[in-house]
Amino acid sequence: MADTIDPITLAVLAGRMEQIADEMDATLFRAAFNPIIAEAHDASHGLYHAETGDTLVQGKSGLPIFVGVMSFAVKAVIDKAAEAGDLEDGDIYIFNDAHMGGTHLSDMRLVRPFYRDGQVFCYLASVGHWHDVGGAVPGNYNPSATEVFQEAFVLPPVKLVRGGELQQDIIDILMRNTRLPQSAMGDLNGQLGALDLGAKRLHELLDEYETATVKAALDALGDRAETLMRSELASLPNGRWEAVDYLDNDGITDGALAIKVALEISDDRMVLDFEGTAPVTAGPVNIALPTAVATAYVAIKHIFPDLPANAGVMRPVEVRVPDSSLLSAEFPAPVGGYTETILRMIDVIFSAAAQAAPTRVVANAYGTINALSIAGKKSNGQPWVMFSFYGGGHGGSVESDGLNHGNAPISTATIPPMEILEAAYPVMFRQWALRPDSAGAGMHRGGLGAIYEIELLEEKAEAFLFGERGRHAPKGVASGEPAAMNRFAYEQEDGWHNPPLASKMLGIKLKKGQAVRLETPGGGGYGPAVERAATSVARDVALGYMTEAEATENYGTAWKGADQ
């Protein structure tokens, strides 16, 4: 029936199912207690295949990285239920094991079988970044972790709800393993509410349309996603292109770590081969295989923006990840800094694809979320943990300059506003501004990074940073220039200091009135700098985006006197 469903019905059903996932997103964003979900939207919801766990539909407001990894998470639940033989209507599984479900331990996953007429029709799933899940470092970004147990509490797939009955003992275990139980309980209730809404809306849809018709639509959407992907690949030249980039270090040993890719196109098929990538590391920049596959999807979605959020897109794509590489780490290797590694994966895929089709690709974005947490106790003894991520410049493209102060290209999340952070935590932002001279030069320059300077208002606290791009700058493409690198500093009684490992450090002791300072990278440039219009350079100087010295060094003197 998937081949015969009429296009109008298919379009209507596709829109209805996307709306279900979007409503689930909105429900959690409004109900969550922690700003990483409520303000930054570090969460996602979707519908998944009843047998394979493949992504059928995902909400548009959640993180794209979850499109691929959540299919692995759902499949883990399917396998666990098959082994136990006790799946029933009303069950909800919960877990955060990153080696089974991808990403890292802060991302708590809830998976619910959706029953219709006594059969599993599909799975509904919710994932959200909880504020704190135990471990050695508040906020869970531990740059010195050498195993997952030092990062957070590890929960395999277990039934949080059994046949409609909430299992209080599981909740008790979860709340005992967080520094912020009120926040965790609020987020958990938000995720449960989102799943309830999704089930209600899906029942309403199936009341209106026959079950067979909706199943046919889901099959057709997967087939059409595959057809569209094959068409996109067939429009590109055949060939093989390579690229390599580096992580600063693993947080333990100060040595660069290569991430290498060979992109090969043969008619309507693509291979992404990561042979030559660094082996599993002692520190937490490893990722599990599900995360690597999902990252390849995110990069592909950027290169081909018309592709839908459906597993059919990946049918013509083979992702080859060597065993024992930092892209295929196995339990209990630490994976807390997965965000930094997947950003570098996207960078190398873009750099390789730019050689095949430069007009489809943007230059490297700033390449780090700069996971900064500051934690302590208030005067009343109440613990607090300010965890957030911070923006930077995006890469230039064939059409325009890069975005100033954007969020990482792994997400559609937003950067929590300064006012929200200052209201929630005992800190004050001395500075929150664009960073001059941080953009990569080019015909279309990269976007500007940012400067954040954060002062402590409580008597004492500790700060922890997990970042990247402190040693290897974001690259330009099509002869564009690299951007400025990441810089971090922290204030002590004898002045300002920088981390020995450039972008990673834990246990920074702060006293009242002292501050930390992030200067984030810009984006790489697109095209030769000599081709940039003199008027554009003059405008950048006038706006303070670039100093006169930087403009002259990158673009010569033709811009002087040009109309803005």
Q: What is the pLDDT of residues 353-381, one digit of tens each?
A: 999 999 999 999 999 999 999 999 998 88
User: 564 pLDDT band (50/70/90 cuts)?
Assistant: low
Where does 148-256 show beta strands of DSSP type E?
158-162, 165-166, 239-247
* Mean pLDDT in residue range 138-163: 93
- Predicted pLDDT at 140: 85
pLDDT tens for 91-116 read: 999 999 999 988 999 999 999 999 99
Assess whether pLDDT exceeds 60 at residue 2. Answer: no
Write down the pLDDT at residue 515.
98
Helix axes 548-555, 534-543, angle to 10 degrees: 160
Q: For 295-316, what is the mean pLDDT?
A: 90
Q: pLDDT tens-digit profile of 177-227?
A: 999 999 999 999 999 999 999 999 999 999 999 999 999 999 999 999 999
Q: Where are the alpha helices (DSSP H) in 401-484?
A: 418-424
What whole-number percentage of the chain has pLDDT above 90? 84
Is the pLDDT at 336 greater than 80, yes or no? yes
Domain ranges (residues) in the chain: 7-226, 362-532
Contact 102, 73 (CB under 8 A): yes
Q: Using alpha carbons, select from 334, 309, 260 the residue that is nearest to residue 106.
A: 334
The region that residue 230 occupies, defined by phi over 0 for left and psi between -120 and 50 for alpha, beta otherwise, is alpha
Which residue type, as a one-letter code, is found at position 401?
D
Q: Which of the two residues, 60 and 226, has the higher pLDDT score?
A: 226
Provide the greatest CA pair distance for the chain: 77
For residue 1, name the pLDDT band (cuts at 50, 70, 90): very low
User: Which range is least confidently modeled, 415-424, 428-437, 526-535?
Assistant: 415-424
Can the peptide bond before residue 138 be classed as cis, meaning omega within 30 degrees of 0? no
Distance of CA 520 to the CA centre of its chain: 17
Q: What percent of the chain has a predicted confidence (pLDDT) above 70?
A: 99
CB 521 within 8 A of CB 485: yes
Across the chain, mean pLDDT equals 94
Condensed to tens digits (0 to 9), the pLDDT of residues 541-559 reads 999 999 999 999 999 988 8
- Name the token pair of 370: 């700069």
Q: Specify the pTM.
A: 0.92
Q: What is the DSSP string of 313-342?
A: GGTTEEEE--TTBTTS--TTS--TTHHHHH
Digit-coded pLDDT (tens) for 246-278 = 999 999 999 999 999 999 999 999 999 999 999
Reported as a single tens digit per residue, the pLDDT across 510-528 is: 999 999 999 999 999 999 9
Q: Which pLDDT value is given to residue 58? A: 86
